[in-house]
């Protein structure tokens, strides 16, 4: 979520301080985890030290936020069909894994995901991909879940549609009043109360207002319908996530993994591990654990919103 959106949300919740850096400064402030920053002094090293006060949030959460705030490193990933997870999947040390082929005895190439550091991850791509298919299979939702989600979203859209209608009424009223003003200027001009110059200035001003109001009204009338149609067309795919994954092209697969695991997918001791998985795909988490495919997950996400995002943005494409 971009910082400016967080800023807007904070404003809605009553946070009134303005400024471009305010939110970032709060998120980076170590005092919320009960730490203070101390400068190096004589023989004492500087750094973060526990403070005396009670922390407001836990250290793990704070560190995950710091991770997200770090500007993304500019590493160029060369896309390769054989290793779609290159640059996304991470080693237990946090480094994104690179991938490379290695030549077998019979001259065939076998692909591996590797960490740059010696004796870290070195995973057979075949094994990693099989395991990923297993996970996607377990992600698939039951028909009844999909029905429930669909209904929830419909309700949400209904609510939004009502708000939208109100907003449209407001815009129409605005449009009427601008239209009245335009008429008044015309009358004044006809009855010689204003000069040609004044008339031109005001008519062009009002006409441009009318133009943008009309455009806004039209836009508001179509967006929700469009979102819902796309959603209705795609939502059943959620019962077959394996298909969603396998039918995606290389870029689609990468987007899928990034979105579902919130860019937090690691590999350690032969299994995938993630602290963040979209809640809606999480229902088989225990089974995944049994099959040594996934370790644990933290649920923070609102189900409906992400499904709409998933299908509406078209970032995951499958046919």
Where along the sequence are the contacts to Zn ion (CB under 5 A)? 91, 93, 95, 115, 117, 120
| Least Cβ distance, residue 118 to Zn ion (angstroms) | 9
| Least Cβ distance, residue 221 to Zn ion (angstroms) | 53
Cβ distance to Zn ion smaller for residue 117 or 162: 117
**Sign of the CA dihedral 156, 159, 161, 166?**
negative
Cβ distance to Zn ion smaller for residue 91 or 310: 91
Cβ distance to Zn ion smaller for residue 96 or 252: 96
C-alpha 315/C-alpha 150 separation (Å) is 19
C-alpha 180/C-alpha 166 separation (Å) is 21
Strand blocks (E) in 17-137: 35-38, 47-50, 90-91, 98-103, 109-114, 122-124
Residue with tokens 């005895």: 105
| Least Cβ distance, residue 292 to Zn ion (angstroms) | 20
Cβ distance to Zn ion smaller for residue 270 or 314: 270
CB hemisphere CA count around 262 (13 angstroms): 20
The answer to whether 259 and 277 have CB atoms below 8 angstroms apart is no
CB hemisphere CA count around 220 (13 angstroms): 19
| Least Cβ distance, residue 122 to Zn ion (angstroms) | 10
Cβ distance to Zn ion smaller for residue 39 or 70: 70
| Least Cβ distance, residue 59 to Zn ion (angstroms) | 22
């Amino acid at each position: 979520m971009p910082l400016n959106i967080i800023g807007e949300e904070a404003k809605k919740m009553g946070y009134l301080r303005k400024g471009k850096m305010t939110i970032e400064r709060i998120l980076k402030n170590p005092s919320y985890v009960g730490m203070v920053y101390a400068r190096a002094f004589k023989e004492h090293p500087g750094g973060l030290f526990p403070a005396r006060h009670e922390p407001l949030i836990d250290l793990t959460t704070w560190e995950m936020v710091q991770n997200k705030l770090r500007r993304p490193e500019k590493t160029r990933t060369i896309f390769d069909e054989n290793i779609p997870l290159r640059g996304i999947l991470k080693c237990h040390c946090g480094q994104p894994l690179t991938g490379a082929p290695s030549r077998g005895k019979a001259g065939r190439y076998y692909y591996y995901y590797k960490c740059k550091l010696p004796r870290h991850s070195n995973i057979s791509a075949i094994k990693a991909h099989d395991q990923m298919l297993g996970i996607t299979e377990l992600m698939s939702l039951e028909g009844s879940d999909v029905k429930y989600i669909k209904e929830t979203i419909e309700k949400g859209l209904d609510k939004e549609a009502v708000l939208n209608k109100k907003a449209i009424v407001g815009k129409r009223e605005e449009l009427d009043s601008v239209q009245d003003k335009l008429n008044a200027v015309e009358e004044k001009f006809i009855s010689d109360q204003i000069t040609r110059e004044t008339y031109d200035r005001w008519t062009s001003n009002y006409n441009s207002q009318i133009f943008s109001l009309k455009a806004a009204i039209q836009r508001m009338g179509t967006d929700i319908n469009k979102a819902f149609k796309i959603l209705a067309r795609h939502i059943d795919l959620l019962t077959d996530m394996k298909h969603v994954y396998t039918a995606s092209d290389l870029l689609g697969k990468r987007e899928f993994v990034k979105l579902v695991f919130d860019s937090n997918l690691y590999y350690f001791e032969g299994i995938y591990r993630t602290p963040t998985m979209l809640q809606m795909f999480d229902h088989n988490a225990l089974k995944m654990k049994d099959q040594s495919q996934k370790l644990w997950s933290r649920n923070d996400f609102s189900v409906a919103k992400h499904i709409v995002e998933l299908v509406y943005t078209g970032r995951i494409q499958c046919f």
